[in-house]
Each structure stands twice: as structure tokens, then as C-alpha cells.
Amino acid sequence: MANPRWIAFFCALLWFTPAAWAQPYVCPDGRFSAALSRDTARSLSTSESPLGPVATSVYLDRQPGRFLTVSFTDLPKLALLAGRETLFEEARDGMLQQCNGHLLTWTKDNRQTRRLTYRVAGEKNYRGETVFQLERYRLYVVDVRSELHLKPLADREFLGSFKILSPAAAAAPSVENR
């Protein structure tokens, strides 16, 4: 039989010691934090646009039955001339095309934020929810895609964990930096 004092000691140690998984993933270059694991993979992609090349950083955390993603794109200043709604709609359409998703809802949370819910049918059926947040010239896309049998509470907790640490740069990337 285990000593009750040792059991109490280990319980207190576990209670008061911050667990590594409980700490948010902090991305200094992306200026955000989110509930991603330490195994989160980072990738960088560049796509051509009428305004020149646009770089996107993607942070992907693959979990059993669930994909958690935070990405950000620094937009050229001229991209906002087309209008905020056009920008959000193009980002939404690109997201749906990329995952072969079917739009369920598209809502405006506030002037800077839109929310998408969608379904992905295929070998496994997934539900997805994406938050698009524009912070000056940086567009953040926070996405969770889960198998239908998993509880949606964890999806909402992940989306709610996303925080911008500091405002995006006041000026858009200059042409010389490309």
C-alpha cells in the first residue's frame, strides 16, 4: 500500500506544476499564441498575385481525428483597395477550395473578423470552423477540422485560445522586401 503522504505530495506536485501541454504555443514572428502542441509543424508558401508574390506562414498541429491550423499572410497595401469584404470572401473561397469543403455558414463577427463553418465529405467526414481576422495588413486564418464523432467543445476551445500578441506592423511590406 502506498504511503498517503507520498500520494498527497505527488498530487500537489501535479496540481501546482504547469503542464507543458497547458502552455500556449507562442509564435514571436507571427505575433500570436494559440493552443497548439509543441509538435506543431511550420511551413512557408509563396503564391503569385496580381500585386506580386505573397508569402503565407502555416502552423499545423495534427492530432488524432483533428487538424488545428493557424496561418498568417502579410498583404500588400494595395490588396485592401479591393475592399475588406472582397478580401474576406476570396480567403473564404480559397479555404473551401483547398479542403474541398461545402459552406454551411458565413458570419461577420465584427469589422475585422469573419467566421466560416463547413463540411468536408470524403473517406472520412469532417466538420470545420475557420476564423478570418484582419489586423492592419496581416490576415490571420485560424482553422479547426475534426471528424464528426469528436466533441465540438475542443474545437471551440482551440478557436477561443487564439490571441494576437501585438498589432501587426503599421506599414505593409515594401516592394524592396520581396
Whether 19 maps to a domain, the answer reads: no
CATH number for position 103:
3.40.1000
The answer to whether residue 6 sits within a structural domain is no
pTM above 0.85, yes or no: no
Domain contains 33: no
**Is 43 inside any structural domain?**
yes
97-137: per-residue pLDDT in tens? Answer: 999 999 999 999 999 999 999 999 887 889 999 999 999 88
Q: What is the pLDDT of residues 138-157, one digit of tens each?
A: 999 999 999 999 999 999 99
Total domain count for the chain?
Answer: 1
In terms of C-beta density within 10 A (0-12 exposed, 13-18 middle, 19 or more buried), how is residue 55 classed? middle
Q: For 29-54, what is each residue's pLDDT tens digit?
A: 889 999 999 889 999 998 887 777 88
Q: Measure the CA–CA gap between 133 and 162, rounded to whole angstroms.
A: 11
Do 145 and 120 form a contact (C-beta atoms < 8 A)? yes
Question: How far is 42 from 39, CA to CA, in rounded Å?
Answer: 10
In-domain check, residue 112: yes
Pairing status of strand 101-110 against strand 138-147: unpaired
Q: Which structural domain range is residue 63 located in?
A: 39-169
Q: What is the pLDDT of residues 59-88, one digit of tens each?
A: 999 999 999 999 999 988 887 777 889 999
pLDDT confidence band for 9 (50 / 70 / 90): very low
Q: Distance between CA 151 and CA 153 in Å, rounded?
A: 6
Is 50 part of a structural domain of the chain? yes
